[in-house]
Amino acid sequence: MRSDMLSRAFDITLLLLLVACAISVIRMKDLLAATIVFSTYSLIMCLIWQHRGAPDVALTEAAVGAGVTTVLFLVAIGRTTRVEK
């Protein structure tokens, strides 16, 4: 019962952080900062998948979402402009 409560609290904390990250990504004008927060979003999502018992999806999220997507965004920012107009 105790661990059940802890698990639920963990879930709720992660989900709140996820929503906070998602909203701040949309509102940020600095695209570099937005990219970093977006990779944090993927990392939190990865923890949620793992906690939900889906390690395969968690691995994909960590490698693709937090890793490669972030790099591609960074390259795209390097080729364009850093601040959203």
Residues that bind another protein (CB under 8 A): 55-56, 58-60, 63-64, 67-68, 71-72, 75-76, 79
Q: Are 38 and 26 in contact (CB under 8 A)?
A: no
To the nearest whole angstrom, how small is the minimum distance from the Cβ of residue 61 to another protein?
Answer: 10
Cβ of residue 4: shortest distance to another protein, in angstroms? Answer: 12
Q: List Cβ neighbours of 43 (8 Å cut-off, separation of 6 or more).
A: 62, 65, 66
Min dist CB 41 to another protein, Å, is 18
Backbone φ, ψ for residue 81 (5° rounding): -120, 160
